Amino acid sequence: MTEPITVPTPRQIIEPAVAGRTETMVLNMGPHHPSTHGVLRLVLELDGEVVVNVAPDVGYLHTGIEKTMESKTYQKAVVLTDRMDYLAPLSNNLCYALAVEKLLGIEIPERAQIARVLLTELQRIASHLVWLGTHALDLAAMSVFLYAFREREQILDIFELVSGARMMTSYFRIGGLAYDLPADFIPTVEQFLAIMPSRIDEYEDLLTANPLWLERTVGVGVIDAQSAIALGLTGANLRATGVAYDVRKAMPYSGYETYSFEIPVGKNGDIYDRYRVRVAEMRQSVKIVQQATERLRELGPGPVITPDRKVAPPPKREITESMESLIHHFKLWTEGFKPPRGDAYVSIESPRGILGCYVVSDGSPKPWRVHFRAPSFINLQSLAHMAKGRLVADLVALIASLDPVLGEVDR
């Protein structure tokens, strides 16, 4: 039986140094260091340039989102989910909406299901583009940063087209979508799909065989599959170790079982493999978006939200003609719907790993408890395991390779 993996706390590193019981040096990295990708403080124990130990210290971006959701009606709480993982707001929307829909026991229209898959995969590509650009910038590859954000702008244009907002869209609602897709949605997505595969080729031309990139990433920040599982790693960080686990395949949701795509995996569990896995994931997401676009075209117009008027507001045209619809609309936005007493948990594959949402209902219009399993928070605890014995410069690359979002960590 292997020894359990322990994660040090800042106090365990600082106290011996203050008491003069060690000959190593203790330094703070962050919480305002650009290479920590947010307000993350790392307490480093160093022997010269070599990392002896490292303890992540989080909480500097604490927003109280989960607690605030308890004071909002279920529908109004959607806007808070955007602010957690602010690089994948639609993934947060989807996870929360699926959990509440499970609590209510409702089904959503097929057109809304397809649109959710399409937009969530675009969100995955957009998130990976931010990761790729900032990761490359941390290692002095500035051109990749500019190119990655060029394509991300096109995706944000699509989000603005459907919702009116570029980032915090709140577009996925309980029961379906906020409103229907615009007429020029499919042509706009197809324009993006036409160029994206060649753009991913460009990124790989710049990095995949680049000797400087290889020197900074190959064999650095290695973690084996057994340790990754023990530490709760998920997403690309886990798949880089060779574990082919993806919630979209293992526990399909939103009809993912009907789409054709592969799960990219690595072998060595180092920074380079995490890079290769995420780049391959972008290619797979392009395939899924292509399939979803074809399905939307074949399906044609249709409803995008549940017909249950006690859960979803009626369309405006009904409100002018039906007193019952007007009453439903008024009560939904003043009181909210009341799910039965109980709880529900749903997990999805976000760009950073397994994102889970647990909702508890006491029968009132407001959730009694909402809790998210945030992959960034759990992935961070692997930092100490991978950083020991490496240089401080390697730590910069290692943090970027984990792709943490601090809004999700502290929420």
Say yes or no to pLDDT of 18 above 60: no
Residues 6+ apart with CB under 8 A from 281: 124, 128, 236, 264
Q: Rounded distance, CA 199 to CA 397, Å?
A: 23
Query: What are the angstrom distances between the C-alpha of 116 and each of 3, 90, 122, 180, 217?
Result: 43, 8, 10, 12, 35
What is the tens place of the pLDDT at every residue in 299-311?
A: 989 999 988 888 8
Mind listing the domains of the chain with CATH numbers? 65-410 (1.10.645.10)
Cβ pair 77, 341 in contact under 8 A: no
Most confident of the ranges 215-229, 273-287, 378-392: 273-287
Q: Give the phi and the psi of residue 342 in degrees, each rounded to 5.
A: 150, -170
Question: What is the reported pLDDT for 13?
Answer: 67
Under the banding of pLDDT at 50, 70 and 90, the label for residue 119 is very high
Q: Rounded distance, CA 377 to CA 388, Å?
A: 20
Question: What is the reported pLDDT for 61?
Answer: 81
Tell me the mean pLDDT in the region 250-258.
94
Question: What is the reported pLDDT for 319?
Answer: 83
Say yes or no to pLDDT of 8 above 90: no
Rounded to two decimals, what is the model's pTM? 0.92
Question: What is the reported pLDDT for 1?
Answer: 40
305 DSSP assignment: B
Q: Give the phi and the psi of residue 261 in degrees, each rounded to 5.
A: -160, 160
Under the banding of pLDDT at 50, 70 and 90, the label for residue 26 is confident
Q: Rounded distance, CA 246 to CA 281, Å?
A: 11
Strand, coil or helix: what is 407?
Answer: helix
Say yes or no to pLDDT of 342 above 90: yes
Tell me the mean pLDDT in the region 191-201.
95
Q: Give the phi and the psi of residue 332 in degrees, each rounded to 5.
A: -65, -40
Question: What is the reported pLDDT for 17?
Answer: 61
What is the tens place of the pLDDT at every residue in 79-97?
A: 999 988 889 999 999 999 9
> What share of the chain in percent tops pLDDT 70?
94
